Amino acid sequence: MPVAQQSSPPPASPARDLALVAIFAGIIAVLGLLPAFYSFGGLVPITAQSMGVMLAGGILGGRRGALAVILFLALVAVGLPLLSGGRGGLGAFFGPSVGYLIGFPFGAFVTGVVTHRGGPSYRLLRGLAANIAGGVVVIYAFGIPGAALVADISLPAAALGALAFVPGDLAKALLAALVARGVHRSYPGLIVSRSRRAEESSPV
Protein backbone atom coordinates (compact mmCIF):
# COMPACT_ATOMS: atom_id res chain seq x y z
CA MET A 1 0.00 0.00 0.00
CA PRO A 2 1.62 3.31 -1.02
CA VAL A 3 2.44 5.75 1.75
CA ALA A 4 1.16 9.26 1.24
CA GLN A 5 4.01 11.71 1.06
CA GLN A 6 3.85 14.95 2.99
CA SER A 7 3.52 17.88 0.64
CA SER A 8 6.61 20.03 0.57
CA PRO A 9 6.44 23.81 0.89
CA PRO A 10 6.31 25.68 -2.41
CA PRO A 11 9.74 26.72 -3.67
CA ALA A 12 10.87 30.27 -3.11
CA SER A 13 11.19 32.42 -6.22
CA PRO A 14 11.51 36.14 -6.96
CA ALA A 15 8.17 36.16 -8.81
CA ARG A 16 6.40 34.51 -5.89
CA ASP A 17 8.03 36.91 -3.45
CA LEU A 18 6.95 39.92 -5.50
CA ALA A 19 3.39 38.60 -5.69
CA LEU A 20 3.24 38.12 -1.91
CA VAL A 21 4.69 41.57 -1.29
CA ALA A 22 2.07 43.12 -3.59
CA ILE A 23 -0.75 41.14 -1.97
CA PHE A 24 0.15 42.27 1.52
CA ALA A 25 0.61 45.87 0.43
CA GLY A 26 -2.95 45.56 -0.84
CA ILE A 27 -4.13 44.07 2.46
CA ILE A 28 -2.71 47.03 4.37
CA ALA A 29 -4.47 49.37 1.94
CA VAL A 30 -7.79 47.53 2.35
CA LEU A 31 -7.54 47.84 6.12
CA GLY A 32 -7.46 51.58 5.54
CA LEU A 33 -11.07 51.37 4.39
CA LEU A 34 -12.09 50.79 7.99
CA PRO A 35 -12.96 54.15 9.56
CA ALA A 36 -10.34 55.84 11.71
CA PHE A 37 -11.15 57.81 14.80
CA TYR A 38 -9.31 60.17 17.07
CA SER A 39 -9.19 59.81 20.83
CA PHE A 40 -9.95 62.87 22.92
CA GLY A 41 -7.26 65.38 22.07
CA GLY A 42 -5.42 62.83 19.94
CA LEU A 43 -3.15 64.03 17.14
CA VAL A 44 -2.79 60.65 15.41
CA PRO A 45 -5.76 58.60 14.13
CA ILE A 46 -6.44 55.13 15.50
CA THR A 47 -6.61 52.80 12.48
CA ALA A 48 -6.54 49.10 11.61
CA GLN A 49 -3.54 49.41 9.31
CA SER A 50 -1.00 48.61 12.01
CA MET A 51 -2.58 45.15 12.09
CA GLY A 52 -1.67 44.83 8.41
CA VAL A 53 1.92 45.59 9.36
CA MET A 54 1.83 42.77 11.92
CA LEU A 55 0.30 40.39 9.39
CA ALA A 56 2.90 41.23 6.75
CA GLY A 57 5.78 40.52 9.11
CA GLY A 58 4.19 37.52 10.84
CA ILE A 59 3.22 35.77 7.60
CA LEU A 60 5.90 36.81 5.11
CA GLY A 61 8.88 37.19 7.42
CA GLY A 62 11.06 40.22 8.07
CA ARG A 63 12.41 41.05 4.63
CA ARG A 64 9.30 40.50 2.54
CA GLY A 65 7.05 41.94 5.25
CA ALA A 66 9.08 45.15 5.35
CA LEU A 67 9.07 45.34 1.53
CA ALA A 68 5.27 45.03 1.49
CA VAL A 69 4.99 47.98 3.87
CA ILE A 70 7.53 50.03 1.89
CA LEU A 71 5.54 49.38 -1.29
CA PHE A 72 2.37 50.51 0.46
CA LEU A 73 4.04 53.70 1.71
CA ALA A 74 5.47 54.39 -1.75
CA LEU A 75 1.97 54.21 -3.21
CA VAL A 76 0.78 56.62 -0.52
CA ALA A 77 3.65 58.98 -1.30
CA VAL A 78 2.77 59.19 -5.01
CA GLY A 79 -0.72 60.31 -4.09
CA LEU A 80 -2.95 57.25 -3.77
CA PRO A 81 -5.45 57.79 -0.92
CA LEU A 82 -4.64 54.52 0.84
CA LEU A 83 -4.27 55.72 4.40
CA SER A 84 -7.28 55.49 6.64
CA GLY A 85 -9.66 58.35 5.99
CA GLY A 86 -8.63 58.57 2.33
CA ARG A 87 -5.36 60.35 3.01
CA GLY A 88 -2.46 60.17 0.61
CA GLY A 89 0.34 62.18 -0.96
CA LEU A 90 3.53 63.55 0.51
CA GLY A 91 1.56 65.71 2.91
CA ALA A 92 0.76 62.60 4.93
CA PHE A 93 4.46 62.37 5.81
CA PHE A 94 4.56 65.84 7.31
CA GLY A 95 1.79 65.40 9.87
CA PRO A 96 1.91 64.15 13.47
CA SER A 97 1.58 60.53 12.31
CA VAL A 98 4.80 60.62 10.26
CA GLY A 99 6.78 58.76 12.93
CA TYR A 100 4.27 55.94 12.98
CA LEU A 101 4.40 55.65 9.19
CA ILE A 102 8.20 55.57 9.21
CA GLY A 103 8.04 52.93 11.93
CA PHE A 104 5.74 50.65 9.92
CA PRO A 105 8.42 48.86 7.82
CA PHE A 106 10.72 48.52 10.83
CA GLY A 107 7.83 47.09 12.82
CA ALA A 108 7.06 44.56 10.08
CA PHE A 109 10.73 43.58 9.90
CA VAL A 110 11.07 43.00 13.64
CA THR A 111 7.77 41.11 13.74
CA GLY A 112 8.98 38.84 10.96
CA VAL A 113 12.42 38.25 12.43
CA VAL A 114 11.07 37.33 15.87
CA THR A 115 8.46 35.06 14.27
CA HIS A 116 11.02 33.45 11.96
CA ARG A 117 13.36 32.56 14.80
CA GLY A 118 10.60 30.56 16.46
CA GLY A 119 11.21 27.64 14.11
CA PRO A 120 9.28 26.15 11.19
CA SER A 121 5.94 25.95 13.00
CA TYR A 122 4.00 29.05 14.01
CA ARG A 123 3.37 29.25 17.75
CA LEU A 124 0.59 31.51 18.91
CA LEU A 125 2.31 32.92 22.00
CA ARG A 126 5.53 33.62 20.14
CA GLY A 127 3.55 35.17 17.30
CA LEU A 128 1.71 37.38 19.78
CA ALA A 129 5.01 38.43 21.36
CA ALA A 130 6.45 39.16 17.90
CA ASN A 131 3.43 41.29 17.01
CA ILE A 132 3.72 43.27 20.23
CA ALA A 133 7.50 43.72 19.83
CA GLY A 134 7.36 44.85 16.21
CA GLY A 135 3.83 46.10 15.70
CA VAL A 136 3.55 48.01 18.96
CA VAL A 137 6.89 48.69 20.67
CA VAL A 138 8.93 49.43 17.54
CA ILE A 139 6.22 51.53 15.89
CA TYR A 140 5.68 53.51 19.09
CA ALA A 141 9.45 54.06 19.33
CA PHE A 142 9.25 55.95 16.02
CA GLY A 143 5.75 57.34 16.37
CA ILE A 144 5.95 59.04 19.74
CA PRO A 145 9.07 61.14 18.98
CA GLY A 146 7.64 61.97 15.55
CA ALA A 147 4.38 63.21 17.04
CA ALA A 148 6.26 65.22 19.65
CA LEU A 149 8.49 66.84 17.01
CA VAL A 150 5.76 67.72 14.52
CA ALA A 151 3.20 68.85 17.10
CA ASP A 152 5.87 70.67 19.13
CA ILE A 153 4.96 68.95 22.38
CA SER A 154 7.06 67.15 24.96
CA LEU A 155 7.88 63.44 24.70
CA PRO A 156 5.92 62.66 27.90
CA ALA A 157 2.88 64.44 26.46
CA ALA A 158 3.17 62.51 23.20
CA ALA A 159 3.61 59.24 25.11
CA LEU A 160 0.57 60.02 27.22
CA GLY A 161 -1.45 60.60 24.07
CA ALA A 162 -0.25 57.26 22.68
CA LEU A 163 -1.74 55.41 25.66
CA ALA A 164 -5.10 55.58 23.89
CA PHE A 165 -3.68 53.24 21.22
CA VAL A 166 -2.48 50.52 23.59
CA PRO A 167 -5.70 48.51 24.25
CA GLY A 168 -6.64 48.45 20.58
CA ASP A 169 -3.11 47.60 19.45
CA LEU A 170 -2.91 44.68 21.87
CA ALA A 171 -6.23 43.40 20.54
CA LYS A 172 -4.92 43.77 16.97
CA ALA A 173 -1.74 41.90 17.94
CA LEU A 174 -3.80 38.96 19.21
CA LEU A 175 -6.09 38.95 16.18
CA ALA A 176 -3.11 39.14 13.80
CA ALA A 177 -1.47 36.21 15.60
CA LEU A 178 -4.63 34.12 15.25
CA VAL A 179 -4.89 34.93 11.56
CA ALA A 180 -1.19 34.24 10.96
CA ARG A 181 -1.44 30.88 12.71
CA GLY A 182 -4.31 29.89 10.44
CA VAL A 183 -2.45 31.01 7.33
CA HIS A 184 0.73 29.14 8.27
CA ARG A 185 -1.26 25.98 8.96
CA SER A 186 -2.90 26.20 5.55
CA TYR A 187 0.20 27.29 3.62
CA PRO A 188 3.33 25.93 5.33
CA GLY A 189 6.67 27.24 4.17
CA LEU A 190 5.71 30.88 3.67
CA ILE A 191 8.68 31.90 5.80
CA VAL A 192 11.64 30.31 4.07
CA SER A 193 14.66 29.49 6.20
CA ARG A 194 18.07 30.84 5.23
CA SER A 195 19.42 27.31 4.75
CA ARG A 196 16.58 26.43 2.37
CA ARG A 197 17.13 29.63 0.38
CA ALA A 198 20.80 28.75 0.05
CA GLU A 199 19.95 25.25 -1.14
CA GLU A 200 17.46 26.51 -3.74
CA SER A 201 19.86 29.16 -5.04
CA SER A 202 22.78 26.71 -5.29
CA PRO A 203 23.56 25.62 -8.88
CA VAL A 204 24.51 22.11 -7.69
Judge whether residue 108 has pLDDT over 70: yes
Residue 34: band (very low, low, confident or very high) from pLDDT cuts 50, 70, 90:
confident
pLDDT band at 38 (very low <50, low <70, confident <90, very high): low
- The average pLDDT across 60-65 equals 95
Mean pLDDT for the chain? 86
Name the more confident of 56 and 194. Answer: 56
Q: Are 14 and 63 in contact (CB under 8 A)?
A: no
Q: Which amino acid is at 92?
A: A
Of all residues in the chain, the percent with pLDDT exceeding 90 is 67
What does the pLDDT look like over 118-138, one tens digit per residue? 877 899 999 999 999 999 999
Mean pLDDT within 77-105: 93
**pLDDT of amino acid 7:** 46
In this model, does residue 3 exceed pLDDT 50?
no
The answer on pLDDT for 85 being more than 90 is no
pLDDT of residue 84: 87
d(C-alpha 186, C-alpha 188), whole Å = 6
pLDDT value of residue 53:
97
Question: What residue ranges do the domains of the chain occupy?
Answer: 15-30+47-186
Which CATH number is correct for 15-30+47-186, 1.10.1760.20, 2.60.120.560, 1.10.3720.10, 3.90.1010.10? Answer: 1.10.1760.20
CB atoms inside a 10 Å sphere around CB 27 = 17
User: Cα–Cα distance between 86 and 35 in angstroms, integer?
Assistant: 10
pTM of the predicted protein model:
0.85
